């Protein structure tokens, strides 16, 4: 793969990873909104900590280039599932988040199919 393609994969991988890392930070700083979202769907509020941990760990692994294929596949599933929290047809803002979740899932599936590219941070293990 040419350097420019590997650089594009690195930048794309970083942008996707940063989105999940930022989501983990947002949940850590102010978990209340996400907890309300969960309880509104009948789910336990402490599930937010599981989501936070998954977002942080998967995001950092994708950013580093470690286990990108399985992590990206799991993140695609996470985006698909969590998109339904935003399926509110009467609210254009929530619908844009719903659609963006599916677009992010698509990007994650591309990473899952093609891997991290050439630029990774060392080797895991």
Q: Is 100 helix (H, G, I), strand (E, B) or coil?
A: helix
46-71 mean pLDDT: 97
pLDDT at 23 over 60: yes
Please give the pLDDT value at position 3. 81
Please give the pLDDT value at position 125. 43
Question: Any idea what DSSP says for residue 2?
Answer: -
Q: What is the C-alpha separation between 63 and 37, in angstroms, rounded?
A: 27
The residue whose two tokens read 């992590």 is 71
pLDDT at 58 over 80: yes
Share of the chain above pLDDT 90, in %: 94
Q: What is the C-alpha separation between 51 and 70, in angstroms, rounded?
A: 17
Pick from 81, 70, 120: which is nearest to 104 by CA? 81
pTM for this prediction: 0.93
pLDDT at 28 over 50: yes
Contact 86, 101 (CB under 8 A): yes
Distant-in-sequence, close-in-space partners of 45: CB < 8 Å, separation ≥ 6: 35, 38, 39
DSSP codes, 62-102: HHHTSSHHHHHHHHHHHHHHHHGGG--TT-HHHHHHHHHHH
| Confidence tier at 124 by pLDDT (50, 70, 90) | low
């Amino acid at each position: 793969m040419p350097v420019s393609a590997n650089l594009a994969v690195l930048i794309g991988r970083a942008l996707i990873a940063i989105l999940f890392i930022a989501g983990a930070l947002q949940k850590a700083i102010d978990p209340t909104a996400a907890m309300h979202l969960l309880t509104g769907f009948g789910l336990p509020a402490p599930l937010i900590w599981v989501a936070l941990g998954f977002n942080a760990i998967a995001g950092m692994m994708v950013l580093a280039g470690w286990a990108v294929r399985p992590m990206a596949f799991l993140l695609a599933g996470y985006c698909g599932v969590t998109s339904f929290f935003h399926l509110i047809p009467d609210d254009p803002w929530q619908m844009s988040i719903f659609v963006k979740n599916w677009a992010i899932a698509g990007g994650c599936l591309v990473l899952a199919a093609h891997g991290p590219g050439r630029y990774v941070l060392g080797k895991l293990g």
